[in-house]
Amino acid sequence: MATFPKKLQVRLDARHGDGNFRELPVLSGRIDFTSNDYLGLARLPLAPSTLTPGTELRGSTGSRLLSGNHPLYEKAEQKVAGYHRAAAALIFNSGYDANLGLLSAVLQRTDFVFYDSGVHASIRDGISLGHARSYRFRHNSLESLQDTVQKVLGPQRPPGTEVYVVTESVFSMEGDGPDLPPLSAYCAENGFRLILDEAHAVGVLGPDGRGAAVAMGLEGAVFARVVTFGKALGCHGAAVLGSQRLKEYLVNFSRSLIYTTALPPHSLESILQAYNMLESEAGVRAMKALRQRLASFELEVDKAGLNQYFTAARGAIFSCLPGGKQRTRHIAAALQEAGYEVRPILSPTVPEGQECLRFCIHSYNTTGEIQEVLSILGRKLLEAENG
């Protein structure tokens, strides 16, 4: 067998040495405070297939531009676009593919892109593959964005350029989000194009889980939104929402769409079933139950006097900062030993000094589970503070 490259081994050894080595976890059976299955839809049994018997395909057989554009794509994209009040939707194989494909295709060499410092790795990678000049602004700070724009562009941007601003409605680690109305107003006033990742808002925020943009009546002010199906919807894939012209452009220039095998028909059917579930009485009950659990978690955090450790949450993610890597690891291990699946989030996923415990709340978590996990958390934080 060929030897492993020494410089790659050095990088692995460094991960071991600094305590940041990653390993694939084994499903534990603990009480779930980690998964993105906010509404519990991934736990439901598979619905019977509605595909015509004898026509089911195990795979898609090719890319969408060749043989893989199954008729269910059009049906699913119309459903997704209508649900999120967008002119058009284009389905990608994952949220990572959607961000990569959108940003790498749209950002041109003469353009400028300003992005929140907390954006997901898929957004960063998409920006790096694009050709625009990119600049980071302080997390959730409109003032920082304005200052950065002023320093970079001055009073007027160069002619023939586009300016894009990229953020998320709910950030995957912090659980917070920007103040969208003034942010969108600032972009509109200056002719900037706002791109919004709504991955953790779908099924959680807005009327019937349509996302933050719809909740605030801003869907018409956003150039592109990214929604994903692998979180609250409990299936797989993602979509870019925007104008019909944007969809046509991406079909022609988005490499992560053009050069990959399409989703199989059963995946598309699962997407349709998930959106139908959101519109059903069961979906409404699940979203109501989730909001009740979110309120319960916030109340119990306050009652336990733990507010100082938590960032302000907008959706179903609550981020607790115990103070340092070792303390975060130790408390996570204690929670897991007690039967609660709570994961420590360490660098390089988050910057050093911002290590956190990430609590994801679900419609199926009980008030008793919430009280108990926070009780253990409170005891361990007190022990850590007292040395």
Cis status, amide bond into 348, omega within 30 of 0: yes
Q: How far is residue 67 from each of residues 238, 275, 301, 366, measured CA to CA in Å? A: 20, 26, 52, 46
pLDDT of 99-156, one tens digit each? Answer: 999 999 999 999 999 999 999 999 999 999 999 999 999 999 999 999 999 999 988 8
Q: How far is residue 182 from each of residues 155, 163, 186, measured CA to CA in Å? A: 20, 17, 6
Same domain, 327 and 209: no
SS3 at position 201: coil
pLDDT of residue 53: 55
What contacts 189, CB < 8 A, 6 or more positions away? none
Same domain, 200 and 309: no
pLDDT band at 23 (very low <50, low <70, confident <90, very high): confident
**Structure tokens, 197:** 């990742």
Question: Are the beta carbons of 73 and 93 closer than 8 angstroms?
Answer: no
Question: Are the beta carbons of 105 and 250 closer than 8 angstroms?
Answer: yes
Same domain, 108 and 192: yes
What contacts 294, CB < 8 A, 6 or more positions away? 313, 315, 316, 361
pLDDT of residue 121: 96
In DSSP notation, 1-16 reads -PPPPHHHHHHHHHHH
Least confident of 41-50, 73-82, 370-379: 41-50
pLDDT beyond 80 at 348: yes
Question: Of 279, 305, 334, at which residue does a domain stop?
Answer: 279
Same domain, 99 and 247: yes
User: Listing from the earlier edge strand, what are the strands of the sheet with 343-345?
Assistant: 317-320, 356-360, 343-345
Share of the chain above pLDDT 90, in %: 82
17-22: long-range contacts, CB 8 A cutoff, minimum separation 24: 19/325, 19/326, 19/329, 19/346, 20/346, 20/347, 20/348
Same domain, 200 and 238: yes
Same domain, 87 and 162: yes
Residue with tokens 């870019």: 240
Same domain, 134 and 252: yes
Q: What is the mean pLDDT of residues 192-196?
A: 98
pLDDT of 297-333, one tens digit each? Answer: 999 999 999 999 999 899 999 999 999 889 999 999 9
Q: What's the CATH code of the domain at 286? A: 3.90.1150.10
Domain containing 161 equals 71-279
> In 10 A of CB 354, how many CB atoms?
17
Question: Of 279, 306, 322, at which residue does a domain stop?
Answer: 279
pLDDT of residue 57: 64
Residue 239 φ then ψ, to 5°: -145, 145
pLDDT of 197-229, one tens digit each? Answer: 999 999 999 879 999 999 999 999 999 999 999
pLDDT beyond 70 at 387: no
Four-residue CA torsion sign, 239, 242, 243, 248: negative
